[in-house]
Chains A and B, each alone.
Chain A
Amino acid sequence: MLELDHLTRRFGDKVAVAHASLQIQDGEMVGIIGRSGAGKSTLLRLINRLIEPSEGRIIADGRDVTALAGAELRAWRARTAMIFQQFNLVSRLDVLTNVLTGRLNRMSGPRVLLKMFTQAERALAVRALDRLGLAEVALNRADALSGGQQQRVAIARALMQEPRILLADEPIASLDPLNAKIVMDALADINRRDGITVLTNLHTLDTARAYCRRIIGMSNGRIVFDGAPEDLTEPAVRAIYGEHGAEQIDERITSTSLAGANMPALAR
C-alpha cells in the first residue's frame, strides 16, 4: 500500500502540492486529473522522489520513503517506474539498450560501464518489447521511432525495472488518438495482468473515466476529488476545473473519444 501523508511541495512562495493525503492499495489503477499547473506532475515526481517534499511523508508498505537516501532511494525509484509525456528515451541509443537501462539499478559497476548485460537480461528485454509489439525494431535507434512506439519503449523500460508501482506523467498527451489508445491499453494490461499499481496523470476526462476505477482531481495543489468515475458529477468536475474552464470541460468530455466501456486487451 502506498500512503501519502500531508505531502507538500513549495517552489519559492508558490505551493505546487498542498497537504496531499491519499491511500492507494496495491493493484489499483488511478487517474489524476486537473488543469495544467494543478500540481499533478509535481505529485508524481514527489512519489518517485525526483522532487523532494517540503513537508509530509510518503509511506510504502509501512516504510517511510521520504527518509531514504543513496542506494535505498535508487532502489525505491527502481520499484516505482516512471514514464513521461515526452518519453524521455536516450535518442542515440538503440531501442534494446534503452529497455535494458531498466536493469541498471540492479547491476554493479563494471557491468554498467561496459554495457555487459547478461543473456537472461537481453532475453527479458526482448520479451518486454515483444509484449508491446516492438521486438522487430529492437535494434533501431530510439529517435527513429514514432511517438507512439517511443512511449511503448518507455513502458518496456519501466517493466524491466520489475516495478510495484508505475507512474505515468501525461503518457498520451503527445500522441494521436490511435496511439493514445494503444498506450492506455498497454497500461491497463500491465495493471490487470501483472498487478502493478498504475498512477497516471491524464488531461482528458473521458480517458480517465474509461480506464480508471478511481479518479483523483487536483486543483491549485489540493486534492479536491477522490472517488469512482460515477461520482464525478457536474459540480465535482466544476470544482476540479473551475468555473471559467466550463466550456473547455464540455469539450474535454466529448473530444478525442477514447471512451469505450470494454477496451480490448493488448493483443496476445
Chain B
Amino acid sequence: MSDTTIRLDTITAADIAATRARLPAAFGAPLRSRALRWTVGLLALSYLLYLHWLFDFDRVFTNLPRVWVIVRLMVDWSQFAEWDHAELLRSMAETVAMAYLGTTLAALVAVPLGFLGARNVIPSRVFRFLTRRIFDGCRGLDQLIWALVFVRAVGLGPIAGVLAIFVADLGVLAKMFAEAIETTERKQLDGVQATGASRIAALRYAVLPQVLPVMISQTLYQIESNSREATILGLVGAGGIGLRLSERIQINAWDQVAYIIVLIMITVALIDSLSKALRIRLIRGA
C-alpha cells in the first residue's frame, strides 16, 4: 500500500517517477504536441513581424508630428460660439431617431420571422432552410453596404439610414429570436396544447412569454449598438451626425470634429445607461 497522506512534503522523487510512469499525461502534453504548439506560436509571431514590415508601420512614428497638429487643432474651441449648434444637435437627434426607428421596425417584423425560423415551430426542414437563408442574406451584408445601396435608391438623408438599419437588423434579430424560441421549454408548450388550444394559441401563450424578455432585451441592445453605428451610416450620406462629421473632416474643421465626437460619446453613454437600466428591470421583472 502506497502512502496516502495528502501533504506535498511527503512526495518523493520516487513518487513522481512512479506516477509519471503510470499517468504520463498528467504531467503536461507530450513532447511532440508541445513542440508543435511552439512552432505554430513562432510562425504566428513571425507573420506578425512580417506584416509590420509589409505595412510600413514606422510611418506611424515618422508622421506623429502631423497627428500632433490635428490634436492641437482639436482642442482649440475658441470659436465655440460660432458653430451651428442647432444643426449639429438636430443631426445628433436624427441619428438616434434613425437607430430607434430602424431597430424597432426590424424587431416587429423579426418576431413572426423568428417563429418561422425556429425548429420547434416549423418542423419542415426545407422551409426552415429558406427562412434561415433569408436571415443570412440580410445579415451577410454590413449595414454600411445596405446604406450605400439605399442612398442610391431613395436619395441622401435619414430614410436611407433607417432602411439600412431595418434590413441588416431584421436578419440579426430574426436569427436571435429564432434561436431563443428554439431553447424554450417543451413542457410548457405541452401543458397548453394539452388543453386543446390551437397551434397558434399555444405558441402565443406558452412560447411567447418565455422569449419575450429575451426579445425585448436584445432589441434594446440593438438600439444601443445601432445608435453608435448609425454615425458611420452618415459618412456615406445616410443622414444624421455622421454626415456633419464627414463634412467637417473634409474642410479640416478639427475643432468641430472633436466637438461632434464628444457629442456622440455623451449620447451613446446616455443611451447605454438607459438601455442597461431598462434591460436589468426587464430581466428581473419578467
Contact = CB atoms under 8 A, between A and B. Distances in A.
Interface of A: 96, 103, 119-128, 130-131, 135, 138-139, 159-160, 162, 193-194, 268
B36 interface: no
B61 interface: no
B19 A126 contact: yes
Given A119-B20, A127-B15, A194 B5 contact: yes
A188 B15 CA distance: 26
A162 B26 contact: no
A127 B19 contact: yes
B195 interface: no
Given A139-B25, A139-B26, A123 B5 contact: no
The A contact surface, by secondary structure, is helix
Nearest to B1: A268
A139 B4 CA distance: 21
A120 B11 CA distance: 6
Contact of A126 (B1, B8, B23): B23
A164 to B, nearest CB: 12
A127 B11 CA distance: 9
Interface in B3-37: 3-8, 11, 15-16, 19-20, 22-23, 25-27
A120 B26 contact: no
Contacts of B2: 127, 130
Contact of B16 (A123, A135, A193): A123
17 contacts: A119-B27, A120-B8, A120-B11, A120-B15, A122-B16, A123-B11, A123-B20, A124-B6, A124-B8, A126-B22, A127-B11, A130-B2, A135-B22, A135-B23, A162-B6, A162-B8, A194-B6
A128 B26 contact: no
Q: Which of the listed residues A121, A127, A130, A139 has the most CB atoms from chain B within 10 Å of its own CB?
A: A127
Interface string B199-242: 00000000000000000000000000000000000000000000
Q: Residue among A124, A131, A135, A194 with the most chain B CB within 10 A?
A: A124
A160 B6 contact: yes
B20 A128 contact: no
**Which 8 A-B pairs give the minimum distances between C-beta atoms?**
A159-B6, A120-B11, A123-B19, A123-B16, A119-B16, A126-B19, A131-B4, A128-B6
Contacts of B25: 138-139
Nearest to A163: B6
Contacts of B7: 124, 162
Nearest to B3: A127
Given A119-B27, A125-B26, A128-B6, 7 more contacts: A119-B16, A119-B20, A123-B11, A123-B15, A124-B11, A127-B11, A139-B25
